[in-house]
Structure 1
């Protein structure tokens, strides 16, 4: 406000696009998941470069539409999974290509999310709409419902109409490294098991509007140019974690404690924290004498430079500078 006191404010992005599209070059989308695709596509159709928070979209169909649109409209795109710009993902890629853990066949990614309510019924009591909130505009393409307490600004993540649960919220941060290191594309098989909530003795609750309280999803990816065979990936949320590697000592942290990614190869293992941060070979003693040359250029300021990388690429113009998570990568990842 102090830097641009004459800037105009709009509640409705459509009105802003109609009136101001000649006055801006790029759009940053930080709305709830269910609004990402329609807002992003509208900006791209105006020829605007776009930065979109993760997950890229609310469903698979939307992800495919935006992936194709990026190529069609020739704009600079970036998803907000800042770990894609971290040094860690590039370092693990260098380690893997140097053969330090052999051929990866299994990957685990896990998170302590959700840290918001999930696996619950939609509240039966309507609440007063905050005076700052245009509820109808916020709903956008979602079904019309009464406003309920504490849905905004955070807990919408636990409802399928607006969010994508723990997998959508954290998957792009934790699964990005396996996609980058192993060049994964599309899963050929998916199997899921979710936690249950009991509302009475032997009476399991059924709340289809809400994302599950926990899940274990197994995805099988076909062989890539970086693997010798198929890759099995396990996603775990709600506090579920994979078996602790035997190589870790009792006082050594697995991932970052609540989240992490583990690669299992034919010759060893490596793990990382959220955002691909602090990668380590297992056992940790292997990290003392690593001599693998730096092969991939680092992004200035790593994860903190992710947004600036997109800004600089947008100023340079389409196809002039590389970004870490363009839609051709972010779409399949989402």
Structure 2
């Protein structure tokens, strides 16, 4: 078994990025232009959702910028963020924050539960503000389409917060695919240890008094008003259809990213799914999804299998290990790919620990690595800084997880969710934006109801 020994050394080398000649590091054009940007130029950043991941998003976005306004429906989150950035104006309602500080705000981060990504981002886009939205961008297909169109209409610079897209390893893997590391790829198996929150029959919310620190009405956002219940905010909302997008929505934009990016996977021809423990309100405790592409350039027919959660007997829902692993057990999350010339196995999320099989092919390939032809991010692991640099340079860059890339990636996850929820095969028509001959699925493409004052659309901006 031969693992990839080059990641650590290459990562160290990248710390001192410089332009080199053939086969060396490619310095992104962004950095060349960024040198002409006045060092004193700071963006006014407003942050929607500043607890948990939102806090780190806020801190990262503050690099060489100014946090001018912060917003959170939870007073505890807001207080912690205000202690970090005491000069920032504080709000509970992002609509009020954006409208009252329009001139001071250049860009907006959105790090809220999935169901409020859309209204928050759309309100910012309507005002012409650049946006960075956490993954997945939204939790309905219609909202993904509307968000993409709105960003195009307003000409803003966008980014999705799937930080792995900035990693060196993802760039390297794309070059490996271009060099036919395992020949023609035929099957891909991707699995995750998610959900780590309740799903299926374990989801049992109970009516209760609203905590004093939480504005429940604002937390609901677009969805119909309803009494407060335990077991939803601040974390377990991912298990609900209404608020989250399940394990596939949570981790698909991470773990499918290096494969979609590397192989150029577009709209699949067919999606099928089976699940264990699906309920009327909650994503299942376990699921398997199969995506089929009939003709991927350089590979032909490709099947991708996604596994999440637990089987009926409580064991992890995972594929059978490839025979090349021998007695080695699969990692808790990861992927492996079966090609015409070998197998590529990754332990863990993203593409950080790769092994090539058989061993002789690994030795031959690693002995003569392909040239670096893909631009590297200047800020590995930090999409907020990458986004900020792009704004200051006046354009998005091809290697970013901008909406032209991030919307299709999000839609791929949501199509899998659609198959899970209906239990029926999905043949997706991207032009008509519908599941062919599947009225049950088509009813779920758009949220059934939007509250008054939260009903955003591209036609209204």
TM-score (norm 2): 0.66
Deviations 1:145-182, CA, capped at 9 Å, x for gaps: 22222321110000111001101001111111121111
| 1:36 maps to 2:117 | yes
Pairwise mapping of residues 307-326 of structure 1 onto structure 2 (< 5 A)? Answer: 307-319=384-396, 321-326=397-402
- Within 1, Cα distance between the matches of 2:177 and 2:400? 19
Distance change (3 Å), C-alpha of 1:58 and 1:82 = same
Distance of 2:318 and 2:203 partners within structure 1:
28
Match for residue 300 of structure 1?
A: 378
Residue matched to 2:289: 217
Relative to structure 1, is the Cα distance of residues 43 and 222 closer, same or farther in structure 2, using a 3 angstrom cutoff?
farther
Q: Distance in 2 between matches of 1:277 and 1:187?
A: 26
Residue 122 of structure 1 and its aligned partner are, at CA, apart by 5.5
Q: After superposition, what is the alpha-carbon deviation per residue over 1:205-264, rounded to whole angstroms, capped at 9, x for unaligned?
A: x7210110000011112423343x22111110003111111112434x63xx21112222
Cα deviation, residue 323, structure 1:
4.5
Kindly report which structure 2 residues correspond to 1:4-23, keeping only aligned pairs within 5 A, or say none. Answer: 4-23=85-104
Aligned to 1:262, which of 314, 336, 339? 336
User: Shift of residue 141 of structure 1?
Assistant: 1.2
Q: Is the 8 A contact 1:101 1:269 kept in 2?
A: yes
Secondary structure at 2:323's aligned position in 1? Answer: coil
CA contact (8 A) 1:259 1:274 kept: yes
CA shift in 2, pair 1:11/1:147, >3 Å? same
Partners of 1:124 and 1:99 lie apart in 2 by: 50
Aligned CA RMSD, in angstroms, stands at 1.9
After TM superposition, the structure 1 = structure 2 runs for residues 127-166 of structure 1, keeping only pairs within 5 Å, are: 127-166=208-247
Indicate if the aligned counterparts of 1:309 and 1:323 stay in contact, CA closer than 8 A: no
Paired position in structure 2 for 1:199: none
Q: Relative to 1, partners in 2 of residues 1:25 and 1:120: Cα closer, same or farther, differing over 3 Å?
A: same
Q: Distance in 2 between matches of 1:283 and 1:12?
A: 56
| Residues 1:207 and 2:279 are matched in the alignment | yes
1:5-84 paired onto structure 2 within 5 Å:
5-84=86-165
- Answer yes or no: is the 8 Å Cα contact 1:173–1:276 preserved in 2: no
- State the alpha-carbon separation in 2 of the partners of residues 121 and 145 from structure 1: 21
CA-CA distance at 1:301 after TM superposition:
4.6
- Residue 31 (structure 1) shift: 0.5
Distance in 2 (alpha carbons) for counterparts of 1:217 and 1:86: 26
Decide whether the 8 Å contact of 2:188 with 2:336 is kept in 1: yes
Report the number of matched residues: 319
Q: Alpha carbons of 1:87 and 1:280: their partners in 2 closer, same or farther (altered >3 Å)?
A: farther
User: Which of these residues, 194, 215, 234, is aligned with residue 305 of structure 2?
Assistant: 234
After the TM superposition, which of the residue ranges 67-76 and 118-127 deviates more from structure 2? 118-127
Secondary structure of 2:201's match? coil
Aligned to 1:202: none
Structure-2 change in CA distance of 1:59 and 1:135 (3 Å): same
**Cα displacement (A) at 1:285:** 6.6
- 1:293-322 deviations in Å (ceiling 9; x for gaps): 2221222352x2322111111222234x44
3-state SS of paired residue (1:141) = coil
**In structure 1, distance between residues paired with 2:140 and 2:205:** 27
The gaps in structure 1 that reach 5 residues or longer are 197-205
Higher relative contact order (CA 8 A, sep 6+): 1
Q: TM-score when scaled to structure 1?
A: 0.89
How far, CA to CA, are the matches of 1:87 and 1:265 in structure 2? 23
1:271 matched to 2:345: yes
Q: CA deviation at 1:69?
A: 2.1
User: How far apart, in 1, do the equivalents of 2:362 and 2:107 lie?
Assistant: 42
Mapped partners of 1:274, 1:244: distance in 2: 17
